[in-house]
Amino acid sequence: MNIEYKSQQGTFPLFFNKISNKKVAVVYDVNTKPYAVNIINQIKGVNAVVNEIEFFDKELIPDEKAMQKTIDGCVNADYLLAVGSGTLNDMAKAATTINKIECGVLATAASMDGYCSKGSALMRGGRKVTDEVHTPSDILIDLDIVKTAPKEMTAAGFGDIVGKFTCLTDWQMTNAVKGEEINQKAFAMMEKARTDCMDAFEELVEYKPNAIAKLMDALIMAGLAMAECGNSRPASGSEHHLSHFLEMDFVARGERVPLHGVKVAIGTLISIELYNYLLDNKVKFNGCEKVYELVKKLPKVQVVKDMLVKMSCPVRFSEIGVRKQTFLEMVAKAHTVRDRYTVLTLINELGLTEKIQPILLEKYF
């Protein structure tokens, strides 16, 4: 995989050498069109034939119709470049897996951790699914683009990395409670990337390029850790299940879906809260003593909340349009979104959901 930052000459030499004289499809939407126009001109400059796949949606949903348009648009191409972040990248990976060609992405925001993952989050039949796909051959990063992305997108990317506190704890907890094996290499990759990003937090708040690069590196490393593990365990736990539950609800209602990482960020606060409830109340269950020790290593809720506020990230679900009833259903049912054991599953098995709902409602709704 070629992870390439823009050169001092303003280009991506390895990428342009690869696609020279080839048929290249480029997929973008109304938000990323300015960056697409620029790189399309550069692609044409290396004698490549370009087919543009343009979406006019401000809030592109990766449903069956959008996927078919992407598949058809690159069916005769040698390569597909997505200009964007989450949705466009996921659609490009899925379409090129079907068409058996290479793909890449020009990242336009440090907003999510799926750039190089082997999963594509799509909507099928109104329900969120994750298809197994190949990873991009090229990830192109221009910090001049990424650092000027809307602040809420950078906040979402930071929220996704904050979520690595609870997803890794979920993994360790499941090992203690259920004996699930931990891929130590993937775990260490994600843990180090998260730490490096958090160490650069004060500079990230000021949107300094080196800190944006640290965030971007952590988001990319999440995908590499998932590829190493063979699934999303190193990067996705209870906080993601809460986000996925809400995403399906917003889509079902035909409403704008809040950014994934923002939902993950608030979900992380809830997950930390649940872990602390187990510790504070000395709830007994198999492996509880080991879990108590894990909880003590988690950051304090207030510390995480303060960081999110500094990044202009919401810290209550009502701030992003979640209904009260939906919030209560999320707490009760989000553990069913994926067949993966997390603190949400544990709380449900212990019969604590109804007792905890009003506590969470007061603090995070």
* Res 36: pLDDT: 96
d(Cα 89, Cα 116) in Å, to the nearest integer?
9
Please state the pTM of the whole predicted model: 0.87
Instruction: Dump pLDDT digits (tens) for 104-115.
Output: 999 999 998 888
Looking at domain 2-146, does it have CATH number 3.40.50.2300? no
Read out DSSP for 244-306? HHHHHHHHHTT-PPPPHHHHHHHHHHHHHHHHHHHHHTT---TTHHHHHHHHHHSPPHHHHHH
* Res 44: pLDDT: 96
* Res 248: pLDDT: 87
* Res 252: pLDDT: 85
Residue spans of the chain under pLDDT 50: none
* Res 349: pLDDT: 97
* Res 271: pLDDT: 98
Q: Where are the domains of the chain?
A: 2-146, 151-364
d(Cα 237, Cα 267) in Å, to the nearest integer?
10
d(Cα 75, Cα 96) in Å, to the nearest integer?
8
In terms of CATH architecture, what is 151-364? Answer: Up-down Bundle (1.20)
* Res 9: pLDDT: 79
Instruction: Dump pLDDT digits (tens) for 219-254.
Output: 999 989 988 998 899 999 999 999 999 988 998 888
* Res 10: pLDDT: 79
Instruction: Count CB atoms within 10 A of the CB of residue 3.
Output: 18
d(Cα 124, Cα 131) in Å, to the nearest integer?
10
